[in-house]
Amino acid sequence: LDCTCTCTCQDKSPLIFVFSVLGFGWMMRSLYVMPIVVVGSSLFFAYWFYRIRRSGAFSKKTINKVVFFPDKATAKLLSRSRKRTNLQGSSLLTLMESIQSARHSLDVCMFTMACKELGEVLIKAHRDRITVRVITDAEQTGAYGSQIEKLRRAGIRVRMDKTTFFMHHKFVVVDNKVLVNGSLNWTNQGVCGNQENVLITNNSELVQPFVKQFEHLWQLYTTPGGLRLN
């Protein structure tokens, strides 16, 4: 009996040694592999969070804002000779910030566009690789200070209505999620003088009809010069 027991223990000794070596080797490899796994996972989740954050999926805050023109801050801008260097607290700045919030697209449907500051916002967005599309009325492209030709030279796609009727809309759709709509034409007089209003909202029941209307008009004015229906 003693002999049998001794032999059995001796037979198992090599196996124990092998498993010990394998276990030690696995543990040593883990010391190298685990940091790589941790760093790789961290980078993956950081990139995932960045993409989700950029898409606005975490931005569930309700936006319902009304802006009136002119206000005390913009009253100082009435003189064309005055440089608009300080827009802090103005309705114009609020409007500009709502447009600058775009991450993917800006669809602008505006009867008249002659406000330099708002034109520059669109050009900057275009340079930042945001898709910018503009629809306007052909008769207004010759208005004093019109920004349309400047937008075209910058590479922004512009389509116009050349019918005998006006393309009289004044709205912007930001990322297909936020609507900027009201009575305001993008002109110096509209910003600094006229009594105007702008509604900014992300209420999808209000936003989506404007998304569809813009697409309808964009297809209707299929050429850069627009359509002549008369």
CATH number at residue 88: 3.30.870.10
Domains of the chain: total: 2
Asked if 129 and 186 sit in the same domain, the reply is: yes
Asked if 94 and 3 sit in the same domain, the reply is: no
Asked if 54 and 79 sit in the same domain, the reply is: no
Asked if 111 and 9 sit in the same domain, the reply is: no
Q: What's the pLDDT score for residue 101? A: 97
When pLDDT is cut at 50, 70 and 90, the band that residue 204 belongs to is very high
Active site residue 170: yes
Active site residue 175: yes
User: Which residue is catalytic, options 12, 168, 212, 216?
Assistant: 168
Give the mean pLDDT of 136-153. 94
Residue 192, in any domain of the structure: yes
pTM above 0.85, yes or no: no
User: Would you say residue 219 has pLDDT above 50?
Assistant: yes
Asked if 51 and 74 sit in the same domain, the reply is: no
Domain that holds residue 30: 1-58
Please tell me the distance from the alpha carbon of residue 185 to that of residue 132, in angstroms, as a whole number.
18
Residue 115: partners with Cβ closer than 8 Å, 6 or more residues away: 145, 147, 186, 187, 188, 190, 191
DSSP at 143? S
Strand partners, 109: 135, 171
Residue 225, in any domain of the structure: no
Please tell me the distance from the alpha carbon of residue 115 to that of residue 96, in angstroms, as a whole number.
11
Asked if 94 and 171 sit in the same domain, the reply is: yes
Asked if 94 and 182 sit in the same domain, the reply is: yes
User: Would you say residue 223 has pLDDT above 80?
Assistant: no
More confident residue, 50 or 91: 91
Asked if 37 and 82 sit in the same domain, the reply is: no
When pLDDT is cut at 50, 70 and 90, the band that residue 28 belongs to is low
What is the per-residue pLDDT across 175-195, written as a single tens digit (0 to 9) for each? 999 999 999 999 989 998 899
Return the number of other C-beta atoms located less than 10 Å from residue 137's C-beta: 22
More confident residue, 81 or 222: 222
Asked if 107 and 51 sit in the same domain, the reply is: no
User: Would you say residue 60 has pLDDT above 70?
Assistant: no
Asked if 182 and 70 sit in the same domain, the reply is: yes
Cis peptide leading into 209, omega within 30 of 0? no
When pLDDT is cut at 50, 70 and 90, the band that residue 227 belongs to is very low
Beta strands in the chain (DSSP E): 64-69, 105-110, 131-137, 157-161, 170-174, 178-182, 196-201
Asked if 190 and 83 sit in the same domain, the reply is: yes
When pLDDT is cut at 50, 70 and 90, the band that residue 89 belongs to is confident
DSSP at 186? B
> Domain end: 11, 34, 58, which one?
58
Active site residue 161: no
User: Which residue is catalytic, options 137, 169, 175, 177?
Assistant: 175
User: Which residue is catalytic, options 170, 177, 212, 216?
Assistant: 170
Asked if 194 and 82 sit in the same domain, the reply is: yes
> Domain end: 58, 84, 104, which one?
58
CA distances from 27 to 30, 41, 115, 208 (A): 5, 20, 68, 57
